[in-house]
Structure 1
Amino acid sequence: MSNMGINELDQGIWTDPNTGLIWARISIGQEWINGQCIGDAQEFNWDDANHACQSLRLAGFSDWRLPTREELETIKDGCYPEKVLFQPQGDSRVYWSSSVNDCNVDTAWYVHFGNDYSHPYYKYNDTFYVRAVR
């Protein structure tokens, strides 16, 4: 559980009461400034997505990581309170997970927010959004 208590939303994080996971309210590329989500989410290849999570400093925490496929699926649309997690603009709302595909280690799973879809994709062929967890 977070030690941020009632102020955690103001600090840019949210603790999922069902899993105990602490999520960044913003996607990587966005900034949390004065209690607001500022800027646009960026897309990354899989390696850069992992590095971006590890480099994130938010709400005094520095131990962020890329979530697993299963963890990401717990926060698909409708699985968290309204206006808690900020989403990128536009239709493309695909997020990398840290889960490597057992059948092909050159691929990792992504989760598409909005259409309830996940699929393995080549780690270096395309870029997707990133949400950090701890």
Structure 2
Amino acid sequence: MKYIILLSVLWTTSVLSQTCLSDFDEEGQEEEYIDNGDGTATNATLGLTWMRCSLGQTWENETCTGDASELTWSQALQASHGFVYAGKSGWRVPNVKELASLTERSCVRPAINEIFFPNTPSDDFWTSTPSVIDPQRSWVIAFFNSSNSIKEKSLFVFTRLVRTAD
């Protein structure tokens, strides 16, 4: 019986850890963003500053702690309105292209740069981009495999905010 429990623990651990291709360039990941030292990271090439944690999490001791909040699309947009973080305003829900720029296609579960965005849920995240064919849906980016799709706006999904870099 103890053997079965141990296998269960080992399987859970392996499922929860990020997996990357063998030729994945970890040093390249570190050069892509600038750590602003305040829970944000800037991609200077794209001119975007990102919250390093998902909404609901807290940046402390160089990592994201706590549980990320799952919100409907409308709740995510409302939460970003007037949001102040790291002494800055202008935070918003990213559009589909902006959020897709965070994906790390060489890795899965999560498919994101874990150096700059630790403890990111391996799940869907809202974008501000609505579906043009269905007003009840909006685009999401999946950080378990870098895919995108449209979801019902009434579903509860994770959110990460962005702002234009100074």
Tell me, in whole angstroms, the C-alpha distance in 2 between the residues paired with 1:95 and 1:7. Answer: 22
SS in 2 for 1:104: coil
Tell me, in whole angstroms, the C-alpha distance in 1 between the residues paired with 2:41 and 2:120. Answer: 17
TM-score (normalizing by structure 2): 0.67
For residue 32 of structure 1, report the CA deviation from its aligned partner.
2.2
Q: What is the root-mean-square deviation of aligned Cα atoms in Å?
A: 2.1
SS in 1 for 2:125: strand
Of the candidates 110, 120, 140, which is equivalent to residue 88 of structure 1? 120
Query: Residues 48-59 of structure 1: matches in 2 within 5 Å?
Result: 48-59=75-86
Tell me, in whole angstroms, the C-alpha distance in 2 between the residues paired with 1:115 and 1:36. Answer: 22
Of the candidates 30, 40, 44, which is equivalent to residue 57 of structure 2? 30
Letter in 1 for 2:94: P
1:109: which partner in 2? Answer: 139
SS in 2 for 1:75: coil
Cα shift readout 1:30-85 (whole Å, capped 9, x = no counterpart): 01246442211111100011122225321111210000011111001258754101
Query: Residues 8-47 of structure 1: matches in 2 within 5 Å?
Result: 8=36, 10-33=37-60, 35-47=62-74
Stretch of structure 1 that moved more, 58-67 or 76-85 = 76-85
Extract unaligned runs of 5+ from structure 2. Answer: 1-33, 106-110
Query: For the pair shown, which has the larger CA radius of gyration, 1 or 2?
Result: 2
1:3: which partner in 2? Answer: none
Extract unaligned runs of 5+ from structure 1. Answer: 1-5
For residue 122 of structure 1, report the CA deviation from its aligned partner.
1.1
Aligned residues: 125
User: 1:119 and 2:119 equivalent?
Assistant: no
More helix by share: 2
SS in 2 for 1:105: coil
Contact 1:53 1:66 in 2 (8 A): yes
TM-score (normalizing by structure 1): 0.82
After the TM superposition, which parts of structure 1 deviate over 6 Å for at least 4 consecutive aligned residues? Answer: none
